[in-house]
Structure 1
Amino acid sequence: MKQFLKQEVLREIPPVNMLLDLAEVKNLIEVYGRDFIVENVRLIIGDFRKNIKLMSREEITYYIIKKLNEYIDEYKRHGLKKVINATGVVLHTNLGRAPLPNSAIELIKEVSEGYSNLEFDLGAGGRGSRYSHIEPIIKKITGAESAMVVNNNAAAVFLCLNTLANAKEVIISRGQQVEIGGSFRIPDIIARSYARMVEVGTTNKTKLSDYSNAITEETSVLLKVHTSNYKITGFTQDVPLEELVSLGRKCNLIVIEDLGSGSLYDLSLIGLPYEPTVQDSIRNGADIVTFSGDKLLGGPQAGIIAGKKDLIDKIKKNPLTRMLRCDKLTIAALTAVLELYMDLDKAAHKVPALRMMALTEEELIYKANDLKELISKSLKDKCIVEVIDDLDEVGGGSLPSVTLNGKAIALEAVSMGVNTLQEKLRGAEIPIICRINKGKIILNLRTIKDKDFHVIVETLLGILGEDI
């Protein structure tokens, strides 16, 4: 471009103040703040100056506004937002694991929109304990003497060992040295707690004698870790909790069981394989049981510690407890979820994770046909839709060997490649997370709420149906 033409285009760039006075930009300032918008407008103008194009002022203004909206769309994509889980994985770790029941959402709203009695004793009129809101209900459900809550199960295990086995030995089977999400491993957690790990047995077989032969004067804890995120089959042997408890009583040692997935409900009642429950562990004599709040329990992220009162009293007094404590929103959500478990039939219907796992083939077919009809009616000949059989998963490191017979929508767009369509679904205002199989988009019905059907249809219509 000739120099004089370049100078003419530069003179056509509208001043920042003029751009800020435009109605569309004013609306963006209302939402995102003046500083944020000014910063991005200046960046866009700076880029335009480096890559100048022959345009009129009107065209440059349109270009800047378009780029500004693109910047904001990119910014919004990085924030925490609702997504539609169409993967069929019920406890999808990357998608926030367990969705909360309505009662939990309502209680979160109630205690967060104003003040609450988080650490205030309404009866005594003075300082209270945040554990008092949740301890009684955990005790009632599990049969434990005492309970407390921290921010996740890894923290629960760490805090228990740091309190009860600091500078002492913790005996654990080699076959139970699991790795949990994010490459965190049980041996690392033990080491960070300042306990000394003593591993016994082999990967596939550990006997009671392996534990008893390893006990010394330095031993404090016998740790049993439920391998909830993988299974070892074949030539195997494990020590039942009852036998470990008997050994612990005989040798005056603390027995801790980390259940991980934390089921409070007998899953065999909804047709799934039996999974050890917290109630079983307490009944079988474990001194301390730790488990997750956001896995099979179906609540918020939390680590729950239940067991003997004298031990939990010590854990509560550990200075690290303050670092790992839960906030009012977690306590509110967990309380509401646990209240549903006071009636197990109610829990099976009201806790979304349990409800999704319990969906029957008939219910899934009904959902699939409903969604297929809505898509076909709205998209007409823009895509080919069919209902197929598919396999779903529990996920979240729970029931790793279990697959759930499910139903899915297989969708193929006539005018758009499957990878492009998946990317556009993922980039929608409410992202739809789905899989591709055999050249088709797969939408698994088990994890899609009925109320989100219209969102899926409208999103597909926006992507594929402009000229309908």
Structure 2
Amino acid sequence: MPDLPASIVDARRLLPSVDRLLRHPLLQAAVERYGHKLSLRMVRDELASAREGATLEAVTEEALARAVLERLSRWTRPRARAVFNLTGTVIHTNLGRALLSEPAIEALGRVARAPVALEYDLEDGGRGDRDALVEALLCELTGAEAATVVNNNAAAVVLTLGALGAGREAIVSRGELIEIGGAFRMPDIMAAAGCRLREVGTTNRTHPRDYRDAINQETGLLVKVHASNYAIEGFTSTLSEREMAEIAHAAGLPLVVDLGSGALIDLADFGLPHEALPRDAILDGADVVTFSGDKLLGGPQAGIIVGRRDCIERIKRHPLKRALRLDKLVLAALEATLRHYRDDDHLERTLPTLRLLCRDEGSIRATGERLLARLGNDLDARFEGFNIELAACMSQLGSGSLPVDRLPSHALVWRPRAERREERERALRRLEAQMRGLERPVIGRLKEGALWLDLRCLEEGDEAAFIDQLARPTGTEGLR
């Protein structure tokens, strides 16, 4: 190891010992809060870092103690952190999709704190079926004969295909071979389920004869996949669930419909675009319908399978069912969410996701005007490198729900004042990164040479917290 300059050796000698720094007044409360073991580790790490960067300028013990506090704060910060979703996508897959209602959150806490009758029949004292917690509600709300649930809709599709069509052909329109987030593709899901994919029709047009001509002794089922995350327009033709059910049943085959998102109510009643309903698919003759719990339904992540009783029983007997089952926490939250649909008169108030989707443009604009006034009056000096304005924009539902439909909204737009393009891009990247680095990260979107913070998902109760953290010196250093 090379000899170190005397100046660095001297600076290192000035550093306090581990015990001395740990006893610093600023760290006494930290030891009480975080514990001696973790505090000691952070003190040692900070002193090791200080030794590596020692210079002629001696580091004060107070500065070291504050650095240890910062280390402790970063180390204990949860990875699953709450963020401000200002992306303009309400049901954002990367940000956890639907928000739970207060009754659903209360149900989570209730079953987490105590034993629960999960697979125990309270009436006869024997073993029960955990699906019974939600099956009756799902049947009532969809008109299905039976229901079961798994951990997400992809799992629901895999399980359904595996139970009803493994080793046989699954016929699906070429225009419905979708790819969902994370590069999960319908052909891959079918292969994983043990089905042999049989494509019919073309990308834009599929006719009844395409299905009839493809059915043979190897056919196990017909599959219709709702195009939830894309749209084909122009010269198109596709079959309805009713038409496909007639073809499938004439051949003695089941029809499986994957709705992807799935809604239990007609969104058009709330001024939103119409989304396909499981109840309609069941009425049209679908034998099994699958959809998500954490998208338009507004509940926890779950894959919901409803349909004909004999089909559901086959699905529940499949070996994968146990591997994909829901735990007590998700089931409790799902039950509470479904009860909203059965009992509540004003779902747009009780379901947070629906409430955000239904926010009127005037309310969002008023939020923006209040925030803009605060930014201009209190924080203007901090953001002198940017022009901040309120601008109209369009939000989207998200997670593959109604991909071509948009909702009028307003956004705070942060546009850098620098003259050179390279400087503006650097300023934007720095701003966007530092917004993400706030105590409660702010997630927006970069477009048209600016950072857009869509305010649809920022409700009045969160405005003060949003402004407060922007005003903190530790949270906004370098934003200019």
Contact 2:24–2:65 (8 Å) recurs in 1:
no
Give secondary structure in 2 for the equivalent of 1:291: strand
- Give matches, 1:73-112, under 5 Å: 73-75=73-75, 79-112=79-112
- Residue 225 of structure 1 aligns with which residue? 225
- Residue 446 of structure 1 aligns with which residue? 456
Alignment deviations for residues 256-296 of structure 1 (CA, whole Å, 9 cap, x no partner) = 00000111121222233322111111111111000011111
Give secondary structure in 2 for the equivalent of 1:90: coil
How far, CA to CA, are the matches of 1:328 and 1:465 in structure 2?
41
- Residue 400 of structure 1 aligns with which residue? 403
Query: Quick one: which amino acid aligns to residue 9 of structure 1?
Result: A
How far, CA to CA, are the matches of 2:302 and 2:14 in structure 1?
57
Deviates more, 1:224-233 or 1:419-428: 419-428
Alignment deviations for residues 198-243 of structure 1 (CA, whole Å, 9 cap, x no partner) = 1111111111211111112121111110010000111111111111
- Residue 55 of structure 2 aligns with which residue? 53
Contact 1:425–1:459 (8 Å) recurs in 2:
no
- Residue 461 of structure 1 aligns with which residue? 471
TM-score (normalizing by structure 2): 0.89
Say yes or no: does 1:318 pair with 2:321. no
Query: Quick one: which amino acid aligns to residue 266 of structure 2?
Result: D
Contact 1:382–1:414 (8 Å) recurs in 2:
no
Contact 1:119–1:127 (8 Å) recurs in 2:
yes
Alpha carbons of structure 1 residues 403 and 444: separation in structure 2 relative to 1, 3 Å: same
CA RMSD of aligned residues (A): 2.6
Alpha carbons of structure 1 residues 331 and 23: separation in structure 2 relative to 1, 3 Å: farther
- Residue 387 of structure 1 aligns with which residue? 390
- Residue 21 of structure 1 aligns with which residue? 23
Residue 66 of structure 1 deviates from its aligned partner by 4.2
Query: Quick one: which amino acid aligns to residue 338 of structure 1?
Result: L
Say yes or no: does 1:425 pair with 2:424. no
- Residue 131 of structure 1 aligns with which residue? 131
Query: Quick one: which amino acid aligns to residue 118 of structure 1?
Result: L
- Residue 413 of structure 2 aligns with which residue? 410
Query: Quick one: which amino acid aligns to residue 402 of structure 1?
Result: D
Deviates more, 1:170-179 or 1:78-87: 78-87
Deviates more, 1:204-213 or 1:10-19: 10-19
The count of corresponding residues between Structure 1 and Structure 2 is 464
Query: Quick one: which amino acid aligns to residue 19 of structure 2?
Result: N
Give secondary structure in 2 for the equivalent of 1:189: helix
Residue 50 of structure 1 deviates from its aligned partner by 3.4
- Residue 142 of structure 2 aligns with which residue? 142
Give secondary structure in 1 for the equivalent of 2:248: helix
- Residue 12 of structure 1 aligns with which residue? 14
Alignment deviations for residues 370-401 of structure 1 (CA, whole Å, 9 cap, x no partner) = 33344444336655654321111111111111
Alpha carbons of structure 1 residues 27 and 182: separation in structure 2 relative to 1, 3 Å: farther
Contact 1:382–1:413 (8 Å) recurs in 2:
no
How far, CA to CA, are the matches of 2:361 and 2:466 in structure 1?
22
Query: Quick one: which amino acid aligns to residue 431 of structure 1?
Result: P
Query: Quick one: which amino acid aligns to residue 433 of structure 1?
Result: I
Give secondary structure in 2 for the equivalent of 1:356: helix
Alignment deviations for residues 171-223 of structure 1 (CA, whole Å, 9 cap, x no partner) = 11111111111111111111111111111111111112111111121211111
Residue 413 of structure 1 deviates from its aligned partner by 8.3
Alpha carbons of structure 1 residues 191 and 27: separation in structure 2 relative to 1, 3 Å: farther
How far, CA to CA, are the matches of 1:438 and 1:165 in structure 2?
48
- Give matches, 1:279-358, under 5 Å: 279-343=279-343, 345-358=345-358
- Residue 46 of structure 2 aligns with which residue? 44
Deviates more, 1:393-402 or 1:410-419: 410-419
Query: Quick one: which amino acid aligns to residue 433 of structure 2?
Result: E
Contact 1:265–1:344 (8 Å) recurs in 2:
no
Residue 62 of structure 1 deviates from its aligned partner by 4.0
Contact 2:26–2:66 (8 Å) recurs in 1:
no
How far, CA to CA, are the matches of 1:169 and 1:429 in structure 2?
52
Query: Quick one: which amino acid aligns to residue 41 of structure 1?
Result: V
How far, CA to CA, are the matches of 1:465 and 1:65 in structure 2?
22
Residue 252 of structure 1 deviates from its aligned partner by 1.0
- Residue 421 of structure 2 aligns with which residue? none
How far, CA to CA, are the matches of 2:76 and 2:91 in structure 1?
25
Contact 2:263–2:277 (8 Å) recurs in 1:
yes
- Give matches, 1:266-285, under 5 Å: 266-285=266-285
Give secondary structure in 1 for the equivalent of 2:242: helix
How far, CA to CA, are the matches of 2:327 and 2:249 in structure 1?
36
How far, CA to CA, are the matches of 1:414 and 1:460 in structure 2?
19
Residue 142 of structure 1 deviates from its aligned partner by 0.4
How far, CA to CA, are the matches of 2:365 and 2:160 in structure 1?
46
Contact 1:29–1:37 (8 Å) recurs in 2:
yes
In structure 1, runs of 5+ residues without a counterpart are: none
TM-score (normalizing by structure 1): 0.91
How far, CA to CA, are the matches of 1:403 and 1:177 in structure 2?
24
Residue 414 of structure 1 deviates from its aligned partner by 8.7
Residue 163 of structure 1 deviates from its aligned partner by 1.2
- Give matches, 1:55-204, under 5 Å: 55-56=57-58, 59=59, 61-75=61-75, 79-204=79-204
How far, CA to CA, are the matches of 2:366 and 2:54 in structure 1?
57
Residue 18 of structure 1 deviates from its aligned partner by 2.8
Query: Quick one: which amino acid aligns to residue 358 of structure 1?
Result: C
How far, CA to CA, are the matches of 1:422 and 1:382 in structure 2?
15
Query: Quick one: which amino acid aligns to residue 451 of structure 1?
Result: G
Query: Quick one: which amino acid aligns to residue 207 of structure 1?
Result: H
How far, CA to CA, are the matches of 1:64 and 1:370 in structure 2?
40
Residue 54 of structure 1 deviates from its aligned partner by 2.7
How far, CA to CA, are the matches of 2:315 and 2:137 in structure 1?
19
Query: Quick one: which amino acid aligns to residue 347 of structure 1?
Result: L
How far, CA to CA, are the matches of 1:349 and 1:272 in structure 2?
15
- Residue 209 of structure 1 aligns with which residue? 209
Alpha carbons of structure 1 residues 2 and 157: separation in structure 2 relative to 1, 3 Å: closer
Query: Quick one: which amino acid aligns to residue 241 of structure 1?
Result: E
Contact 1:379–1:465 (8 Å) recurs in 2:
no
Residue 75 of structure 1 deviates from its aligned partner by 3.7
How far, CA to CA, are the matches of 2:82 and 2:4 in structure 1?
50
Alignment deviations for residues 417-454 of structure 1 (CA, whole Å, 9 cap, x no partner) = 55433332221111111234555543322111211100
Query: Quick one: which amino acid aligns to residue 191 of structure 1?
Result: A
Contact 2:262–2:275 (8 Å) recurs in 1:
no
